[in-house]
Structure 1
């Protein structure tokens, strides 16, 4: 077994295709209302979820409140190896990103403070038993929880600013793959937890009139680190080969890229709101993935796997219309450019450009309201050829064609006071 093959699996640390509506391994299922509007929110002040999309807009959210939201990500993926006609269906997998927001402040005051809890990275993939890339990846299960205390202040009636301290409070990953041996297959499992790390999320919101609003926000880069305490476990390794697989611990660092976003809100009348966002994600910081092991694997304790990601843009458009005093309906869509160049696609992130369509609705009753959202995402078919791999020196991954469709229903409950 080549060490690079093991590292390819480890490379899914805080990564994966389950990242439903953003390229690479980024997830933006942070607000149920926003989800129904194509993921827009930077140039709007819809509710307490502004803490995620643009902290500067929080001070313009008139009502204080608490909201809880959850999504179910249902992905159907398949792989066809180069030179084969056999389609390998991935085993069905489900992940459940969630969010919690609580916003406080004086009813007529200029500031708002709040706390946000959300899950911006997560996935679960289970490839078909015996698939062609089994020695690269069989299973990945990723969980992460971020906490963001936030403060926002309205400098004038039109202009507000805000910032939040972003805390990677919990990150865990479990990865598994098969090991090719002369007469059989062994198995390896990697299990690690990321250290607590700090970043920031800041934004500015400007509403020059009742019909127009503009926002800009920046989320800082944050490194997810397994600090040489991740567990490496081998199984089904014959005695004759066990001396080649001695590692019990691993360490690795994965950059969670900085994102700068610009958004515009247009309100033609009091019932209709339209939003347009552009997100710029600095994926080019992700050049390689280095792993360190406590003991040798096939004579090596360190290796580097190429990534060479590129900066990418996402375009989002959505709107909502208030049909009655209680009922609001929403729709939208997005186009997400992949950061992964040809020759660098990996089984844990078989990424390509993504196209999505969304719908949603809310119904208010007294101080409570219920939000619903639905999304359909198609990750465009992506073919990785053996020639691509050879040209880029990335033969630690498998050649073939990936395709993925994702359906994401969402449900949210709000209470205002």
Structure 2
């Protein structure tokens, strides 16, 4: 009995089917940005600049507080290569959120801020009895990041900023069935919390004229580590108890660094356009290695191949101020998947994706309400048994076709002072 056939946690530490970025990266960090295809690196829209480009925060005129949330409604299906039935995942809802507060003198050159957001997290629940149940049946992932930020305007045109990015909370619960020869299937559940980790986010913002702005930002990688996670195994025969003795696991997942460049164009006082390119360094994610406190199967270690490749995301969006109180937005993005053919896993059934977005803000005095909506189409992705055999991944993947569509409504509230 091969260990890889017993446990496939994939990118399960903090991953899952992402809402709007390849692999397991999610960018739903700002409600205004969400309505504009996710652009923001070359713009200074509001306090969410702390996430997109900390250098732009000093150029945000208003000090303020804002909070927002989204609901991801996904329809995901799978059809096995050697089966005729399409398996539709059970309905699940994920609610990423964001909170920003920016402070500083009204006419000063600096801004301080605090950001709280959820860039990783998902929930998948496959249909009972599906072909990949020995790889995955359920996964529930949560994460919260905190980012203190400082930004300074060196001149009226140039500003810089940055701050530590703290993995304040991360949790995973993963479940799968176990095939035990002539015995009924067993079941395994992994549950753990990630250790606190620290990276950084930094950026530069340049606005040479009232009609043009440029930005560059860099978000460092973080190695998220679950130590002493709990292994719970049920419905296994007493005669094979020694093969299912593990009670704890350790695993590290590399969360990739991202370099972004952005351009903002303001043809007039009412219209703002933005274009971003994100370069995500997925290539450092080569294998996922687990260590157990006792044997699970024939060993206390497991290695699962990933061999991700670096990927680009292209984003385009704009907003138009219809009245003093109402601003409307639209945008879209194209996201290259970092997952190569033959390496698609059930917990991250990733493929190239296209998204379209709409949004609006209605302001009354110092208060405002932000609305956004996204539609994400993840392209149909097929991998064959021959590909799995050639890559040596046939023991922890499933041959077949995945298809996912996601609808993401969002709402936010802001107060400027």
Measured against the shorter chain, the TM-score band is over 0.9
Q: Deviations over 1:311-364 (max 9, x none)?
A: 000000000000000000000000000000001100000100000000000000
Match of 2:174 in 1: 175
- Report the secondary structure of 1:9's partner residue: coil
State the partner residue of 2:407.
407
**Counterpart in 1 of 2:133?**
134
Indicate the residue corresponding to 1:187 in structure 2.
Answer: 187
**Does 1:198 pair with 2:213?**
no
SS of 2:155's equivalent in the other structure is coil
CA distance in 2, matches of 1:199, 1:283: 16
**Does the Cα contact within 8 Å between 2:358 and 2:373 map onto a contact in 1?**
yes
Provide the rounded CA distance (Å) in 2 between the counterparts of 1:290 and 1:104.
43
Range with greater deviation from structure 2 (178-187 or 157-166) = 178-187
How big is the shift at 1:238? 1.9
Write the deviation string for residues 279-328 of structure 1: whole angstroms up to 9, x where unpaired: 00000000001110000012200121100000000000000000000000
**8 Å contact from structure 1 (residues 148, 165) kept in 2:** yes
Deviation at 1:241, TM superposition (A): 2.0
SS of residue matched to 1:390: helix
Q: Does the aligned pair in 2 maintain the 1:5–1:397 contact within 8 Å? A: no
- What's 2:143 paired with? 144
Q: Greater CA deviation, 234-243 or 372-381?
A: 234-243
Contact (CA 8 Å) 2:171, 2:193: kept in 1 or not?
yes
Q: Deviations over 1:7-41 (max 9, x none)?
A: 42264111111x10000000000000000000000
Q: Which residue of 1 aligns with 2:416?
A: 416
Q: Point out the more displaced range, 270-279 or 5-14.
A: 5-14
TM-score, normalized by length of structure 2?
0.99
SS of residue paired to 2:32: helix
Aligned counterpart, 1:351? 350
What is the CA–CA distance in structure 1 between the aligned matches of 2:11 and 2:43, rounded to whole Å? 36
Q: Is the 8 A contact 2:10 2:348 kept in 1?
A: no
Q: What 5-or-longer segments of structure 2 have no aligned partner?
A: none
Distance change (3 Å), C-alpha of 1:342 and 1:10: closer
Please say if residues 7 and 305 of structure 1, whose CA atoms lie closer than 8 Å, have aligned partners that are also in contact: no
- Alpha-carbon spacing, 1:6–1:152, altered in 2? closer, same or farther (3 Å): farther
Q: Deviations over 1:75-105 (max 9, x none)?
A: 1100000022210000011000000000000
Q: Is the 8 A contact 1:162 1:202 kept in 2?
A: yes
Distance 1:102 1:6 in 2: 46
Question: Which deviates more from structure 2 when the two are superposed, residues 174-183 or residues 195-204?
Answer: 174-183
**2:158 equivalent in structure 1:** 159
Q: Which runs of 4+ in 1 moved over 4 A?
A: none
In the alignment, what sits opposite 1:310? 309
Mapped partners of 1:336, 1:116: distance in 2: 25
Give the match's secondary structure for 1:240. helix
Partner of 2:258: 259
The SS at the match of 2:241 is helix
1:125 aligned residue: 124
Partners in 1 of 2:297 and 2:192 — Cα distance? 21
Is contact 1:7-1:291 (8 Å) kept?
A: no
State whether structure 2 residue 270 is matched by structure 1 residue 271. yes
Scaled by the length of structure 1, what TM-score is found?
0.99
Aligned pairs (5 A) from 1:301-380: 301-380=300-379
Separation in 1, partners of 2:38, 2:2: 41
CA distance, structure 2, for counterparts of residue 10 and residue 260 of structure 1? 25
Instruction: Give the RMSD, CA atoms, in angstroms.
Output: 0.7
Within 1, Cα distance between the matches of 2:111 and 2:6? 47
